[in-house]
Amino acid sequence: MKKLVFTLVASFAITAGFSQTVEELKAEQAPKKDSIAALQGKVDALQAQIDAMPGWKIGAFGTIGGSISSFSNWYAQGTPDNSSGNIGFTVNAFANLKEEKFFWRNSANVNFAWVKLDDKNDPTDSDNFEATTDVFQLTSLYGRNITKTLAASGLAEYRTTVLNNFNDPGYLDLGIGATWTPIQDLIVVIHPLNYNFVFSKGDDSVFESSLGAKIVADYTRKIGAISFKTNLSMFQSYKSSDLSNVTWTNSFGYTLWKGIGVGFDFGLRSNKQEALNYALNQDPATATSFDDVDNKLQTYWMAGLNYSF
């Protein structure tokens, strides 16, 4: 009985001592966490000063995703013998020059993806990777400062597909107007004088160039391990709303280790000219003109590994 009591007392004392040690360690840890937070605040403040300095700022980040698989005699599925895969990547690159009296901002947005499904029992199907996502956009904005947040500006923006039907269609916007920069990483472009050149080998009654207004809003920022970019590009034709278009793209990345992490991209687009061209090329055609075409919202998204440098 004495041994049992002694064992219980000893166990309680050890447990109490261990708990006390943990509490002491937590108490010692707390001020160090506060010190780290204070140091991180100073680092962030210094980085903000560096970002505000004149000169070139160059960088890029994006997302890489993919998978491959192969099945043999897997009878539970409709295609028991197949090999499949998908590969995709995005690139968001920028080269920005900031000086006291002017700025020059350049960016590129690329999103490519391929998908493969090879039925080994069907000799007529394709065993190649087929392009499924095809986005390519270049933007160059030059501005002369009028005030601290307002500038007279000129914009050139080119959008097309590369993997399929290069420059068919292709869109080139050239315009002048004003650019507003209310905060460090946000720019808002309003160009009431903009010409939207549309290049196409198809029906001229579908793809038509026109004069209109261009509005662009772009916010690109990196906060610690987080990188993100959102870009809204709109063209409003003065000739007809059928010739207008809007594209909104978004990219998010979280770095886990040495520039590698996880990322997510998604985009939305509305373009009635593209919708009508697609409808007219169906067999049978699903529309005859702008009046009866179903201009559905175009979307894409992609998740995978993220990189940045």
Specify if 237 maps to a domain: yes
Is residue 298 scored above 70 in pLDDT? Answer: yes
Angle (CA) 256-307-164 rounded to 5° is 145
Specify if 82 maps to a domain: yes
Specify if 72 maps to a domain: yes
Which residues is 306 bridged to in the sheet? Answer: 63, 261
Task: Give the pLDDT confidence of 25-60 residue by residue, as tens digits.
Answer: 777 777 777 777 677 676 766 766 666 667 899 988
Residue 123 tokens read as 């000799």
Task: Give the pLDDT confidence of 243-262 residue by residue, as tens digits.
Answer: 999 999 999 999 898 888 99
Specify if 201 maps to a domain: yes
Specify if 35 maps to a domain: no
Query: How far is it, in rounded angstroms, from Cα 229 to Cα 252?
Result: 7
Better pLDDT: 66 or 115: 115
Is residue 7 scored above 70 in pLDDT? Answer: no
Q: State the pLDDT at residue 4.
A: 52
Is residue 242 scored above 90 in pLDDT? Answer: yes
Q: State the pLDDT at residue 1.
A: 59
Q: State the pLDDT at residue 44.
A: 64
The percentage of residues in the chain with a pLDDT greater than 90, rounded to a whole number, is: 49
Better pLDDT: 238 or 63: 238
pLDDT (mean) for 275-294: 92
pLDDT (mean) for 3-29: 59
Task: Give the pLDDT confidence of 108-131 residue by residue, as tens digits.
Answer: 999 999 998 888 888 888 878 888
Query: How far is it, in rounded angstroms, from Cα 202 to Cα 185?
Result: 39
Better pLDDT: 5 or 131: 131
Give me the number of domains the chain comprises.
1
Specify if 45 maps to a domain: no
Task: Give the pLDDT confidence of 136-177 residue by residue, as tens digits.
Answer: 999 999 999 999 999 999 999 999 999 888 888 899 999 999
CATH number, domain containing residue 140: 2.40.230
Query: How far is it, in rounded angstroms, from Cα 107 to Cα 56?
Result: 13
Specify if 49 maps to a domain: no
Q: State the pLDDT at residue 45.
A: 67
Q: State the pLDDT at residue 21.
A: 75
Q: State the pLDDT at residue 124.
A: 84
Q: State the pLDDT at residue 17.
A: 52
Task: Give the pLDDT confidence of 67-116 residue by residue, as tens digits.
Answer: 778 888 786 777 888 888 888 999 999 999 999 999 999 999 999 999 98
Residue 147 tokens read as 């005030």
pLDDT, mean over the chain: 86
Give the CA distances from residue 243 to residues 113, 192, 261, in Å, rounded to whole numbers and listed in that order: 28, 16, 40
Write out the residue range of the structural domain in which residue 303 sits: 56-308
Specify if 23 maps to a domain: no
Is residue 273 scored above 90 in pLDDT? Answer: yes
Query: Which regions of the chain does DSSP assign to beta strands (E)?
Result: 55-71, 82-98, 102-119, 130-145, 150-160, 170-180, 186-199, 210-223, 226-237, 245-257, 260-271, 298-308
Q: What pTM did the predictor assign?
A: 0.78
